[in-house]
Amino acid sequence: MADFRDDDPELPAPPHAGHFPALVMGALGVVYGDIGTSPLYAFREALHAAGGSEAVTGPEVLGLLSLIVWALTIIVTVKYVGFVLRADNKGEGGTLSLMTLARNSIAGRPLWVLVLGIIGASLFFGDAIITPAISVLSAVEGLEVVTPRFTDWVVPITLTIIVALFLVQRFGTGKVASIFGPVTALWFIVLGISGLVHIFNAPGILAAINPYYAVQFLASHGGLTLVVLGAVFLAVTGAEALYVDLGHFGRKPIVFAWFALVFPCLLLNYFGQGAFVLAHEGAVDHPFFEMQPDWARLPMVILAAAATVIASQAVISGAYSLTRQAMHLNLLPRFSVTHTSKTQSGQIYMPGVNTLLLIAVIILVLVFQSSSALSAAYGIAVTGEMLITAVLLFVVMRNIWKWQIGAALLLIIPLVIVDTGFFIANLAKFAQGGWVPAVVAATLAFIMQTWIGGRKLLLRRTKAQSLPLNSVLDSIASKKLHTIKGTAIYLTSEIEGAPVALLHCIKHFETLHEQNIVLSVLTATTPHVADDERVKIEPINDRFTRLVLTFGYMETPNLPKALIKAQTAGLSLDVSSTTFFVSKRTLKPTRRGGMPFWQDRLFIALANSASNATEYFALPTGRVVELGTQVSV
């Protein structure tokens, strides 16, 4: 049951509400955890793709590093930090927020923008199941560098950490969130120092800043180009988190953290790994851990494991947040949501989503066994989402920022070319594991399409069977109904139609309360709704009132708290004598429906799995009456 406090824990505090240093530290722990663990495997996989450290020459090492440097610069610094973070929907970011912003800016709110948003959200979930698996695996594999005797224990230890991580989600991250930032800050500082030490041994490695080496590598390696680009892209996975978590910290703290610590330390570490490879002519299987001194390897494994847990925590929380947005935008059925903090914005736990993620991550670890094997599955989801972000950003530039077409294309075309190149490169890994996020995304997109189509069909059937409220009220005037003291609130999704529960009370019980409120709940296309825009009261007659409550798609619709605000807005209501009437529909499949019979059954299964209205709207269970009806779909 949700918390009924007046200060809604679901409403994130504005970025200026906290101290700037604290916001920067929080951004380090939440926003940059994923991209911060990329040095564990990105350069290693790029080396392997180019033929291994023994086969790679000095110019080739410079080429690989130059590709990584400019991928970080173009994709993260220019695209996300420079422009995407500015495309906020009233302070909120993420694929669905950008989709809503872009769609609302076009007359008629075209379907193709919604489709792009659905695909982008689906791809995020494909990324969400891979990040915990590859991150924790890559950290635990450092034990093999400490001693080969740990080789057989890598997978069991990884699974233990992952299971523990998902099991503690129910307790919330509020108690440990305060250490996320400092631990991640320490991680980046260690990354920078460990890389800087080796740069002094081979300062010529800094020549990789010159993009000439990147272009030369791509031009001279023909068939290897796509494979190498697919590996290089691992360095920027996690960049999308900058935008997803925009609402939690604001743009300025995220930008400051990137330039002040994250970007420099990432570059130093990658340069250090390159310098280490150049200085060692023998095979280097795992440059990140092997370049550490013997005494530091075990502590580095422990710190890396902590960093990967934080990175995984961030993407799990992101999955909860995105699911909640999709629920409120009617893209998915209602899942059970538990608030785990009274003070931290966005601290929620979704048991169903948590269980599905845990099962998927465990399967990935057992199937792929190593981060190198799993790296083939990484990339398609992220590059696809980045391409969609670029397209939606172009719409925002033209329609909201009012850029000239030439200026917008001058920026977007190079970004789309880069994103497309990386997307094609990752498609080359489809058979080796890239199919995993593609299948996950396709499945989720189909589920969303089924839910949207099923709801539209259900709405048509319900409208066809419903009666206008005014005609029902006219018929009541001629009937002698028994009057019950108190107030009845009838929940209905039909603003104009009569609630089914009201019709049941009149027809079967011949009763009517002294005061009756027909309540509809709407979801706005903005993340949050101001209090003065939330409540709309429309008196119908001396016994009936129509009440419409509007919530943003990032807000949890807590009706008891909203009714208190409605009282202050002029609604006459005695909360202590109020009964909530909820219509519970039982869906029956029919072969004459608008969807295939088997898809009808899928929609019904989704509807049956949704949390009930009492829980979703935080209604007091002792004052809810559910009246059922059957509807064929």
Q: 235-261 pLDDT, tens per residue?
A: 998 888 788 877 777 888 899 999 999
SS3 389: helix
Query: What's the confidence (pLDDT) of residue 397?
Result: 94
Tell me the average pLDDT across 301-320: 85
In a domain, 65, yes or no: no
Other beta carbons within 10 Å of 319? 21
Q: Clarify whether residues 357 and 242 are in a common domain.
A: yes
**Strand (E) or helix (H) holding 508:** none
Read off the amino acid at residue 371.
S
Q: Clarify whether residues 439 and 497 are in a common domain.
A: no
- SS3 sequence of 594-612: CCCHHHHHHHHHHHHHCCC
Query: What's the confidence (pLDDT) of residue 2?
Result: 33
In a domain, 336, yes or no: yes
- Domain boundary among the residues 402, 424, 452 is at 452
DSSP notation for 524-558:
-SSS---HHHHEEEEE-SSSEEEEEEEE-TTS---
Computed over every residue of the chain, the mean pLDDT equals 84
Q: Clarify whether residues 416 and 493 are in a common domain.
A: no
**Strand (E) or helix (H) holding 547:** strand 544-551
Question: Whole-angstrom Cα distance, residue 598 to residue 284?
Answer: 53
Backbone angles phi, psi at 631, to 5 degrees: -135, 135
Question: Whole-angstrom Cα distance, residue 366 to residue 369?
Answer: 5
Tell me the average pLDDT across 446-475: 81
List, for residues 546-600, the tens digit of each pLDDT value. 999 998 887 878 888 888 888 888 888 877 778 898 887 777 777 666 677 787 8
Please give the residue that has the higher pLDDT: either 465 or 350: 350
Confidence check: pLDDT of 416 > 90 = yes
Least confident range from 59-63, 176-180, 207-211, 470-474: namely: 176-180
Question: Whole-angstrom Cα distance, residue 235 to residue 44?
Answer: 10
Of 194, 150, 176, 433, nearest in space to 304 by CA = 194
DSSP label at 12? P
Query: What's the confidence (pLDDT) of residue 173?
Result: 57
- Domain boundary among the residues 425, 452, 479 is at 452
Read off the amino acid at residue 52.
G
In a domain, 12, yes or no: no
Question: Whole-angstrom Cα distance, residue 306 to residue 309?
Answer: 5
Q: Clarify whether residues 381 and 481 are in a common domain.
A: no
Of the ranges 52-66, 357-371, 529-543, 546-560, the best mean pLDDT one: 357-371
In a domain, 75, yes or no: no
Query: Is residue 335 within 8 Å of 611, Cβ to Cβ?
Result: yes
**Strand (E) or helix (H) holding 143:** helix 142-146
Model confidence at 177, pLDDT cuts 50, 70, 90, reads low
Least confident range from 58-72, 151-165, 275-289: namely: 275-289
Task: Give the domain range for residue 34.
Answer: 23-43+81-205+236-452
Query: What's the confidence (pLDDT) of residue 81?
Result: 92
- Domain boundary among the residues 391, 418, 452 is at 452
Confidence check: pLDDT of 4 > 70 = no
List, for residues 513-534, the tens digit of each pLDDT value. 888 889 988 888 788 888 888 8
Q: Clarify whether residues 428 and 489 are in a common domain.
A: no
Query: What's the confidence (pLDDT) of residue 224?
Result: 81
- pTM: predicted TM-score of the whole model, two decimal places: 0.81
Q: Clarify whether residues 163 and 33 are in a common domain.
A: yes
Of the ranges 3-7, 24-28, 90-94, the best mean pLDDT one: 24-28
Confidence check: pLDDT of 55 > 70 = no
Q: Clarify whether residues 292 and 345 are in a common domain.
A: yes
The CATH number given to whatever domain includes residue 254 is 1.20.1740.10
Of 387, 262, 362, 315, nearest in space to 131 by CA = 315
Least confident range from 342-356, 380-394, 410-424, 568-582: namely: 342-356
Tell me the average pLDDT across 201-229: 88
Q: Clarify whether residues 113 and 256 are in a common domain.
A: yes
Please give the residue that has the higher pLDDT: either 187 or 347: 187
Query: What's the confidence (pLDDT) of residue 631?
Result: 66
Confidence check: pLDDT of 346 > 70 = no
